[in-house]
Structure 1
Amino acid sequence: MKVLALTQALLGLAASVQATTVDYTTVTGYFLQDETSTDASTFDYTAVNFGLINRTYPADRHLRNPHSLTQWERFYHQVQKWNEESPKDVEYKVLFLGRHGEGWHNAAETYYGTPAWNCYWAELNGNGTATWFDAALTSAGVSQALVAHDFWQKEINEQRIHTPDNYFVSPLVRTLQTANYTFTGLELPKGSAEFKPLIKELFREGISIHTCDHRHNRTYIHDLFPEWPIEKGFSEEDELWNGVTAETSAAQDVRSEKVLDEVFFTSESIKENSFASVTSHSGEISSILRVIGHRTFSLNTGAVIPVLVRAEKNTKERATVSSVAWTASAHCTAPPVTSVSACVCPSSAAPVTTPLVTDV
């Protein structure tokens, strides 16, 4: 039944045809993370004002006294000016893409090494000491989320940054916790949107056979944060994870484009609501960056980058996709013998493509 549900969900996603499509483009020249000279591995968003480049903007000429405003105030004014002057089928939005803090799955991968993690340990719910099924944050992960919290407050106080008009979050526990630690308790500017993130299925991590990618049921998620809305159509059980097949990058990009289509040009996301926060995962953020044409930029756990996106509707119908490519993944049935770069199953534990965890 689980595989059938998975197939139905994927075919429904793949075969959808919209009356219009949306073309996404990254608008460069405004953030350090857009530039090839910026090294993602050493990038510290807290040291460089979220990466916002110190520069003038065309819209500055419409301000009476631009020198009295902060960089973020002038940039926000520029984004608003673009939206005001653009056709109705064009929308500019700044997406604050935040990766969750360190989860128990991240700690376990470091402990076991990536080869052993991928081909055996990740297919279990835990090891008796730690649990990484729908992994929660470690204490280090909580600290990383609190760094983001404190930096947001600093930007509010010193830069008078416009805080997000909309908040979105993946349904996996580590992202829910990260969003909560990051935004709860901030002293928001008067008139700011309340932090009450919308939980969206398709902002989840790339779906592999790892149990850390298997979400809890809807009831569990609601009970964690009962005040937070969950999108319509969100299923009680996880219909996208089965422990057998893994989502390819191409398949993930299809759903990333679909969920972006749900963020842009909606009644909740009118042009004036030009700043949005998305708390998600490294793989999903990488997919979003591909969809919007941004250069590859890997985020450390707990990191946040804004990207400026131009979205434009066009009248061409989206071509029907008959299937979305997923792949079966083999794994050991006992702890592997590993090398630095590869995994070797013991002779008594030949690789299989059936789940190690059966209570799914």
Structure 2
Amino acid sequence: MKFSRLTAVALSLAVLADASYVNYTTVTGYFLQDEATTDPSTFDFTSTNFGLINRTYPIDNKKTKNRTPWERFYHQVVELNRRSPPNVDYKVLFLGRHGEGWHNAAEEYYGTPAWNCYWSLLDGNGTATWCDADLTDSGIKQAQIAHNFWQNQLNSQHIHPPDSYFVSPLTRTLRTANITFSGLRLLPGSTPFRPLIKEYLREGISLHTCDQRRNRTYIHSLFPTWPIERGFTETDELWNGVTAETSAAEDFRSKAALDSIFKANDTGLFVSVTSHSGEIGSLLRVLKHRTFQLSTGAVIPVLVRAETVPETRPTTKGSWTASAHCTAPPVTSVQSCVCPSTAVPVTTPLVTVSL
């Protein structure tokens, strides 16, 4: 929300509240990840200053020439907001993927075809558990790398820390956010790390048991000081082990999550979102950003322009689909899933998991 125009924005949004639509676009020219020439498979946020392009801005002058690139960029975002009409908002979203989870390790071990059509529908294999997967040792190290890099940026670049924090309710994202942001040495006046747990920032919901969340009581017990958004149910009412979200359905809830973040009065200019590969991909689609696959533990900032327009657009929640899967370990294949001849594919859950 604009700091210098709170009254004007409040009045504007009040008028638009009953029938309004928020249109999101990515403002390019500021980050390497926005450029078509940047390869996501080799991109390293820790060696590229989060991908920030070291460039000049219209606001640059003699007073700012000795400031770091992140200090100058922050003032550029402030200026964009100051000059924009009351119905336009600019924010920087730091989209962070969780560190490696046991489900990621299992998929690599079994191969994606076999994982998708059989192993992912179980809660584990007797050695590892991947239902609402926790972090592996590698995942913990990846989150620690993000923590160390944030601290380095705070110390050397004087980066403005997030004004607000949001996190998916799945265990791997909760732990990643905690490792990444807990204990950072922030300047006085910075927003303390106390993320809001949001249902709609969870991974794309498939038949995989790693996509089912645990109950509210368990989540609260992990981090009892973290707020959970209003309306968050005790049990997971979205995952059923039978039907999966289509991309359209996931994008619908991703936009709803963004709307709630942008329409809030206290989110500030820099916003941290700790989520998942599939969900970040969905958020990027809603933001009209190029496809950019994040590795586990990676973080990318995106400068977002949100324009609230006084109209109601037709919306659809999108469809959910059922898919056939094997009832026994599939025949080994690197190309596709082949069920054993004795295991006829089904569309019913292989396990009933109550978290």
**TM class, shorter-chain normalised?**
over 0.9
1:347 partner letter: S
**Which whole-Å CA distance do the structure 2 matches of 1:356 and 1:101 have between them?**
27
Task: Give the drift of 1:185.
Answer: 0.6
**Which whole-Å CA distance do the structure 2 matches of 1:74 and 1:127 have between them?**
51
Percentage of identical aligned residues = 69
For residue 340 of structure 1, the aligned residue among 322, 330, 334 is: 334
1:201 maps to: 199
2:269 partner letter: S
**Which whole-Å CA distance do the structure 2 matches of 1:359 and 1:260 have between them?**
30
1:35 maps to: 35
In the alignment, structure 2 segments of 5+ residues that lack a partner are 1-16
1:315 maps to: 310
Once the two structures are overlaid, the 10-residue window that deviates more, 184-193 or 146-155, is 184-193
**Which whole-Å CA distance do the structure 2 matches of 1:246 and 1:223 have between them?**
28
Local SS of the residue matching 2:41: helix
Once the two structures are overlaid, the 10-residue window that deviates more, 323-332 or 117-126, is 323-332
1:301 maps to: 296
For residue 146 of structure 1, the aligned residue among 120, 131, 144 is: 144
**Which whole-Å CA distance do the structure 1 matches of 2:146 and 2:315 have between them?**
41
Local SS of the residue matching 2:70: helix
Q: Does the Cα contact within 8 Å between 1:209 and 1:241 map onto a contact in 2?
A: yes
**Which whole-Å CA distance do the structure 2 matches of 1:50 and 1:253 have between them?**
25
Normalised to the residue count of structure 1, the TM-score between the two structures is 0.92
For residue 344 of structure 2, the aligned residue among 337, 342, 350 is: 350
Report the CA distance shift for 1:359/1:152 in structure 2 as closer, same or farther (over 3 A): closer
Count of aligned residue pairs for this structure pair:
338
For residue 275 of structure 1, the aligned residue among 270, 273, 297 is: 270
1:24 maps to: 24
Task: Give the drift of 1:18.
Answer: 6.2
**Which whole-Å CA distance do the structure 2 matches of 1:196 and 1:330 have between them?**
41
Superposed CA deviations along residues 132-164 of structure 1, whole A, max 9, x for unmatched, are 000000000000000000000000000000000
For residue 328 of structure 1, the aligned residue among 316, 322, 346 is: 322
Local SS of the residue matching 2:306: strand
Normalised to the residue count of structure 2, the TM-score between the two structures is 0.94
Task: Give the drift of 1:268.
Answer: 2.2
RMSD: 1.1
**Which whole-Å CA distance do the structure 2 matches of 1:26 and 1:51 have between them?**
15
**Which whole-Å CA distance do the structure 2 matches of 1:308 and 1:301 have between them?**
22
1:165 maps to: 163
Q: Does the Cα contact within 8 Å between 1:18 and 1:318 map onto a contact in 2?
A: no
Superposed CA deviations along residues 249-269 of structure 1, whole A, max 9, x for unmatched, are 111111111110001021222
State how 1:1-360 maps to structure 2 within 5 Å: 19-61=19-61, 64-269=62-267, 273-321=268-316, 324-360=318-354
**Which whole-Å CA distance do the structure 2 matches of 1:358 and 1:207 have between them?**
16
Task: Give the drift of 1:324.
Answer: 2.2
Task: Give the drift of 1:320.
Answer: 4.4
Q: Does the Cα contact within 8 Å between 2:40 and 2:292 map onto a contact in 1?
A: yes
**Which whole-Å CA distance do the structure 2 matches of 1:83 and 1:234 have between them?**
32
Bigger share in helix: 1
1:342 partner letter: S
Superposed CA deviations along residues 190-249 of structure 1, whole A, max 9, x for unmatched, are 211010000000000000000000000000000000010000000000000000001011
In the alignment, structure 1 segments of 5+ residues that lack a partner are 1-16
Report the CA distance shift for 1:180/1:347 in structure 2 as closer, same or farther (over 3 A): same
2:58 partner letter: P
Q: Does the Cα contact within 8 Å between 2:123 and 2:353 map onto a contact in 1?
A: no
Structure 1 segments, 4+ long, off by >2 Å, are none
Once the two structures are overlaid, the 10-residue window that deviates more, 339-348 or 212-221, is 339-348
Task: Give the drift of 1:359.
Answer: 3.5
Task: Give the drift of 1:318.
Answer: 2.4
Superposed CA deviations along residues 91-137 of structure 1, whole A, max 9, x for unmatched, are 00000000000000000001111111000000000011100000000
Superposed CA deviations along residues 329-351 of structure 1, whole A, max 9, x for unmatched, are 11111111031111111111111
**Which whole-Å CA distance do the structure 2 matches of 1:286 and 1:359 have between them?**
27
Once the two structures are overlaid, the 10-residue window that deviates more, 308-317 or 259-268, is 259-268
**Which whole-Å CA distance do the structure 1 matches of 2:18 and 2:110 have between them?**
45
Local SS of the residue matching 2:301: strand
Task: Give the drift of 1:65.
Answer: 1.2
2:136 partner letter: T
Local SS of the residue matching 2:25: strand
